[in-house]
Amino acid sequence: MTAGAHLGEVLDDATLVARARDGDVRAYEELVRRYQGRMYRLALRMLGSAGDAEDVVQEVFLTVWRRLEQLADDRAFVGWLYRSVTNRCLNVIRARRPVTDVDPDDTETRRGDARPERAAEVSAQMAALTAALAGLTPEQRACWLLREVHGRSYEEIAEAVSTSPGAVRGRIARARAQLAEVMQPWR
């Protein structure tokens, strides 16, 4: 068993963060392994571009590594990651043209063992959902993804997008209503 695998099985996030802050690169590598997939999926859904998502996640992990000493509470690491990825994605969205094309074949939902007609239906549903998500405001999309896909609490989302839990609830409610309307044919 490698030392990195041992770290991942035994140590909690706060301990890994403390070790990483002390210069333990392996501890930070374990944190990256634990969370890069989640952060990438969030960025991909927000940005609709695999390349942009990869860039954002890489930049965030590098920035967090450089600023690790600024984290006051080691247990707040995951929230810090979500906030950093969300804010970086919102900045990318604001800096680009308003229309985002997403290739549904780039999503992680493909299954080789599915029947072709079922696979086509799922692909069409994912394309419709991707288009519906693109129709939300960036802030609504961020709030909806953090809640529905990543299971974050309203308070965590509020911290990630720098607003109040009430505003988060409103954004999520509007996003749900808009998505329900667009996705009606798929019910």
Cα separation, 12 vs 78, in Å, equals 12
130 vs 158, higher pLDDT: 158
pTM of the model: 0.64
Confidence of residue 1 (pLDDT cuts 50, 70, 90): very low
Helix (H) or strand (E) holding 116: helix 116-134
Residue with tokens 């209503």, as numbered in its chain = 177
How many beta carbons lie within 10 A of that of residue 41, not counting itself?
17
Cα separation, 92 vs 180, in Å, equals 26
50-108 tens-digit pLDDT: 999 999 999 999 999 999 999 889 889 999 999 999 999 988 988 876 544 455 455 45
Residue with tokens 């952060």, as numbered in its chain = 39
